[in-house]
Amino acid sequence: MADDSHRAQSAKFWDDAATENAAWYVATGYTEESAAFFEQGAHETDFFLGFCGVVVEPTDVVLEIGAGVGRMTKRLAALGERVIASDISAEMLSRAEVNLAEMSNVDYVVVPGDGSLPAVQSGSVDVVFSYIVLQHVPAREDQVRYLSEAIRALAPGGRLAIQVRATGVKTVLHEWAGFAAHLVRGRKTLSKAWRGAKIPKAQILALGADDVTVELRRHNVRHTWVVANRAK
């Protein structure tokens, strides 16, 4: 994409979503930021860390990309020493700050949404985690920038688990059935800020380096995880 108007549109889409019904736009099975919503977030965090073979140690600094209202951040903050909770939406993050008011080890950072992580120093993060975020990012180059920026941020021994859209005809059919089902319930799921782009596998794997392994783990018809490890 030649201009960056889609990023401003994404920021507005997610700010509006947070105001309309943050819980639904974060995890479509919920309409309230309830105890059950956070329990599911904790359960999914543990499940996907395990699926990707990523262990969060009590001394770890964790970067979460697209933290939303803190559904998974809460669990990450219980596991690690400090969490940098980043998001394109200031509205989502201000709700997260209220939801996680009892946790003193979370920093909230609004990011430009183009994949750059200007506030995060190279080699300063032990774990990067992101779920159901890149699949909503409209520009492929922004998604690739997120992956390369997240790898840049990894300290020696650092681990990364970032979910992206899966590819394939079945995936597209499945996704459009979901977009349509949500649309008839009045949700804004035909927006480009919801539908996002896909990244070719080869472009992801090419982000590996001498000291960084990158692999893909397909979880289901819609989701693939990018797993990266920096050598110690």
**SS3 state at 160:** strand
Site for ligand SAM (CB under 6 A): which residue of 68, 108, 147, 154? 68
Site for ligand SAM (CB under 6 A): which residue of 87, 126, 149, 175? 87
Terminal alpha carbon distance of the chain? 37
Task: Encode burial over 215-225: b for 16+ CB neighbours within 10 A, e otherwise.
Answer: eeeeeeebbbb
Instruction: Tell me the β-bridge partners of 62.
Output: 83, 127
**Beta-carbon count within 10 A of 117 CB:** 23
- Applying CB under 6 A, the site for ligand SAM has a residue count of 22
Site for ligand SAM (CB under 6 A): which residue of 6, 71, 198, 223? 71
d(CA 150, CA 117): 8
Per rule CB under 6 A, is residue 10 in the interface with ligand SAM? yes
User: Which residue, 208 or 219, has its beta carbon nearer to ligand SAM?
Assistant: 219
Site for ligand SAM (CB under 6 A): which residue of 30, 62, 89, 187? 89
Positions in the binding site for ligand SAM (CB under 6 A): 10, 14, 26-27, 41, 65-68, 71-72, 87-89, 92, 111, 113, 131-133, 136-137
